[in-house]
């Protein structure tokens, strides 16, 4: 097997750009609308600002998940022949569903217990469904 041609610089730039676009998207572009949608009250705004003071580790986790996401996408784009349906479905779940659900769980005002519960329930369901989809696509020919 010959190695895949992966541009790791593009992966890093993609991850950095996702953080920049996210800051703009949920800041000046749609920040107020987003706060209304998720029901932030004036009291919640104070709590959100307090949460942001310790959000450094969350930003690091989000960045690492995004690096992983772009890396897997790079592999999927470069290799269309060596991965079966089940493996590809599980990689897509791990690289796209998990980071998306993690972002949804991390960036809200819920308690840690609620965040983890929401993440695990939604992630578990998606894992089962992607495994089913991948197996069907791989073995039902």
- pLDDT tens digits along 107-138: 888 888 888 888 888 999 999 988 988 888 77
The C-alpha atoms of residue 29 and residue 22 are separated, in whole angstroms, by 10
Q: Mean pLDDT for the chain? A: 83
pLDDT grade for 102, boundaries at 50, 70 and 90: very high
Q: Which of 40, 53, 61 is closest to 110 using CA atoms? A: 40
Q: What percent of the chain lies above the pLDDT cut of 70?
A: 94
Alpha carbon separation from 123 to 41, 84, 127, 130 (Å, rounded): 29, 22, 6, 10
More confident residue, 59 or 41: 59
Answer for the pair 6, 74: CB distance below 8 angstroms, yes or no.
yes
Burial of 96 (0-12, 13-18, 19+ CB in 10 A): middle
More confident residue, 107 or 80: 107
Radius of gyration of the chain (CA): 18
Q: What is the pTM of this model?
A: 0.61
Tell me what pLDDT residue 1 has. 59
């Amino acid at each position: 097997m010959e190695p895949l041609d992966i541009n790791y610089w593009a992966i890093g730039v993609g991850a950095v750009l996702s953080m920049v676009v996210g800051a703009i998207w949920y800041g000046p572009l749609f920040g107020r609308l987003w706060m209304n949608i998720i029901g932030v009250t004036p009291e919640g705004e104070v709590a959100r600002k307090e949460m942001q003071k310790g959000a450094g580790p969350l930003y690091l986790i989000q960045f690492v998940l995004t690096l992983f996401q772009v890396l897997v996408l790079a592999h999927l784009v470069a290799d269309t022949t060596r991965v079966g349906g089940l493996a590809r479905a599980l990689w897509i779940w791990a690289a796209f569903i998990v980071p998306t659900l993690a972002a949804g769980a991390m960036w809200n005002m819920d308690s840690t217990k609620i965040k983890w519960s929401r993440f695990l329930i939604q992630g578990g369901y998606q894992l089962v469904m992607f495994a089913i989809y991948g197996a069907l696509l791989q073995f039902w020919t």
